[in-house]
Amino acid sequence: MVLFCLRFLGSVQFGKVLYIGFGYIGLTMTAVNINNILPPVFFEVFVGVLFVAMVLGLVYDALGGRKLAYFRAERRMMLSATSGGGQGKEVGVAGVVGRTLVTNLATSRELAKCGASRRASHELMLWGFILSVIVVVVKVFAYPDVSPVLPSSVFGVLLNLGGLLVLVGGLWYLWLRVNVSHEGNSVFRVTRADMFILSLLANAVLGFVLEGADLSGSVVATDVALGLYLPVTAFMFFSVPWSKFSHIFYKGAYAIQREIDRERGVSRLPTPSEDSYIKE
């Protein structure tokens, strides 16, 4: 790592542009072929295990954590409080899902009422995470022999961009956490609700560390970086029942349900006023 840093600084010192310097090391030094340390099939199995762990964790949380029972109880309340119940109205579910995904979830529209900063930081994290996941899955399953992933390659650019978005959005969000900004707690106070974002940030940081170690050409450094990166990534997916990871699915599903309710006229709230009392 030290060797990598010295070489990196050296390249900058000799007038190289930052990005070119980064790629320069990868091209001139012999980057570590991670496939020699862990075979491609390992990463395929690893990603598969993470996916299964995430699904099982979600099921465990929904049933064991009584999230599903709570949701059903809330639905009963919502329907009983709706005049007429909105029954019998046909709604094109596929259209609603598509519209919600594009106009609501993709833009974090729901968070607009929470402030522009929170929405922006959430957008950065959301798209950074999605980008990283897609690139990793494509790389692992479609291009398993590509190693090392150079920063100048398409994979490298997209992975670095995803990691950067997560880092910027995540660090920004740490200062926007509601218990920090509204309850006045220290920004360093950590609760269980922070488990997901901290593991996400750790994942992004260790991803950059792994990239640096890989490009430095040091097998030992790459071994160590892999030894840190893989458990932290696994932790994020295995901790689904206890972390806020599951909110990705719950909030998405609830947003779709709310759109369907709106189409069907299901609302527990009073009907909006037709008159405005604002005179000035």
Partner 1 sequence: MPTFVYMSMCDGCGKCVEICPSDIMHIDPVMRRAYNIEPEYCWECYSCVKACPQNAIDMRGYADFAPLGHALTVLREPEKGVVSWKVVYRNGETKTFRFPIRTTKFGSIKPPTAYPEPSLEALSSPLLAHEPEYLKVEGLPTLHPKEAERA
Binding site for partner 1 (CB under 8 A): 70-71, 74, 77, 80-81, 83, 110-111, 113-115, 118, 177-179, 181-183, 191-193, 244, 247, 250, 254, 268-273, 275-280
Q: Minimum distance from CB of 218 to partner 1 (Å)?
A: 40
Is 139 or 177 the residue whose CB approaches partner 1 more closely? 177
Give the number of other Cβ atoms within 10 Å of residue 257's Cβ: 17
**Residue 49 amino acid letter:** V
Residue 86 Rama label (left phi>0; alpha psi -120 to 50; beta): left
Is 22 or 196 the residue whose CB approaches partner 1 more closely? 196
Which has the closest alpha carbon to 78: 275, 260, 246, 210? Answer: 260
DSSP H helix total and E strand total for the chain: 12, 0
Q: Minimum distance from CB of 178 to partner 1 (Å)?
A: 4
Which has the closest alpha carbon to 130: 106, 155, 156? Answer: 106
Is 19 or 175 the residue whose CB approaches partner 1 more closely? 175
Name the DSSP class of 208.
H
Is 113 or 186 the residue whose CB approaches partner 1 more closely? 113
Output the DSSP codes for 253-264: HHHHHHHHHHHH
| d(C-alpha 160, C-alpha 168), whole Å | 12
Name the DSSP class of 190.
-
Residues, the chain, total? 280
Q: Minimum distance from CB of 91 to partner 1 (Å)?
A: 20
Is 81 or 134 the residue whose CB approaches partner 1 more closely? 81
Q: Minimum distance from CB of 80 to partner 1 (Å)?
A: 6
Q: Minimum distance from CB of 195 to partner 1 (Å)?
A: 9
Is 144 or 241 the residue whose CB approaches partner 1 more closely? 241
Q: Minimum distance from CB of 115 to partner 1 (Å)?
A: 7
Give the number of other Cβ atoms within 10 Å of residue 94's Cβ: 8
Residue with tokens 């690139």: 135
